[in-house]
Amino acid sequence: MQKKPSLLKVPEWRRERFTLRQLLVWCVTAGIFAAIAVNAAIAANVSGDDDKKAVAALDAEYQAAVKKNDAATMDRILADDFVLVTGSGKTHSKADLLADARSGNPPYEHNDELEKTVRVWGDTAIVTVKLWEKGIDAEKPFDHTFWFSDIYVRTAAGWKYVFGQSSLSLPKTP
């Protein structure tokens, strides 16, 4: 009786046995790749922390510029296609905010961040701030607190403030 050929042929490379030396080389190579991956993950985390700090500082610089009506600093930080949407649904462009700053209106007594959180995902950062504003606008005093979300995007020129959205004024707390 003739032996039937096997339907399952094991490839030649699978039939070879690894020598101890080959196994050692394979393990060292895998270890090197694992170390590179861990190092990249650590570097990404450090970069993320650096980005959070950079965006937080830029947002604080922007709020200080708003308080002082510093149009030049605002112009540098705002993206050209910037949009702000207020809690009432009104929209403002970069040109609107710069014109308002150049007019000196409104003079802020306070434009202070009470709470702040910065989150970064790659080239996008979201800053969530509880903001207190106090001053006089058109001879009428204002004093309100509201939530603000600022979106920053990393560009070739660095981080730019591209979009802002505010809540309605929060109720006064006793």
- Specify the pLDDT at position 41: 55
Q: Are 16 and 26 in contact (CB under 8 A)?
A: no
- Say which residue, 43 or 77, is predicted with more confidence: 77
Six token digits for residue 36: 């590179």
Task: Provide the residue type at 94 as one letter.
Answer: K
Q: What is d(CA 150, CA 164) in angstroms, rounded to the nearest whole number?
A: 4
pTM tops 0.85: no
What's the mean pLDDT when you consider all of the chain? 83
Q: Is residue 15 pLDDT above 50, yes or no?
A: yes
Measured distance between the N- and C-terminal CA atoms of the chain, rounded to whole angstroms: 100
Q: Is residue 46 pLDDT above 50, yes or no?
A: no
Task: Provide the residue type at 147 as one letter.
Answer: W
**Given pLDDT bands bounded at 50, 70 and 90, which one contains residue 111?**
confident
Q: Are 81 and 94 in contact (CB under 8 A)?
A: yes
Give mean pLDDT, residues 52-66: 94
Residue 156: strand, helix, or coil: coil
Pick one of 3.10.450.50, 3.40.50.880, 3.40.50.80, 3.30.499.10 as the CATH number of 19-166: 3.10.450.50
Q: Residue 167: CB partners within 8 Å, gap ≥ 6?
A: 87, 146, 147, 148
- Specify the pLDDT at position 25: 60
Range in 34-43, 110-119, 120-129 with the lowest mean pLDDT: 34-43
